[in-house]
Every structure is written in structure tokens, then in C-alpha cells.
Amino acid sequence: MSGPYSYPSYEASKAALGRFARSVARENAPHGIRANVILPGVIDTPHVRRFIDAETPPEALDRKRAALVPMGRQGTAWDVANAALYLASDEAAFVSGIELRVDGAMSA
């Protein structure tokens, strides 16, 4: 679980969220409260595009970012939203304390 560059504080905070979710899940399970973490990979969002070099053609950058992902494409906000919807649904009623990676197999 790491970011695209070496950002120790970013990576540490992501790791801490997983531990936090497990602790919260364990403590609150008797009350029917679940806690999970979604860990997105390379996701194409307007926020990410703000940091892109303006001189690089968007198509070239999209290909470069997609090449980082074993599934061959960048994720979308819908991919992350669908993971959140699953975790919030009745189908995930017995799912708690997990880190759900939505990263196209980058962390596999």
C-alpha cells in the first residue's frame, strides 16, 4: 500500500487508517457498527488532473497511468463509489475491519 511516489507521511497515514478501522470494528461490533477502509489505486479524478503537467497531452498521460495498473486502465470515481455502496449495503452486513483495495490489482 503506497502512493505513486515516496511520500512516507502519506503512506503512514494510509497504513494507520487500516489499523484504526480494525480497532473501531472490534470495539463496536457488539453494537452492530461496522468500520472498513477503501484504498483506491490510480483513480482518474479532477483532483488528480490538477497536478498533471499541462505540457503533457492528456491521452499520453492516461496511457502512462493505465500502464501502471495490471488491469490495464485507471480506476474511476464510480469504481470507488461502487465499493463504498457495497460496504454500506446489507450484502456486506458481516464485513467489518477490512481494507478494500480498489486498485485494479496493483497491490496484488
Q: Residues 6 or more apart from 60 whose CB is under 8 A from it?
A: none
Q: Is position 7 annotated as part of the catalytic site?
A: no
Residue 11: all three cell numbers together: 503512506
Of the candidates 5, 7, 10, 86, the residue annotated as catalytic is 10
Report the candidate in 108, 101, 20, 17 with the shortest Cα–Cα distance to residue 70: 108
Report the candidate in 38, 108, 106 with the shortest Cα–Cα distance to residue 72: 106
Q: Which residues are catalytic?
A: 10
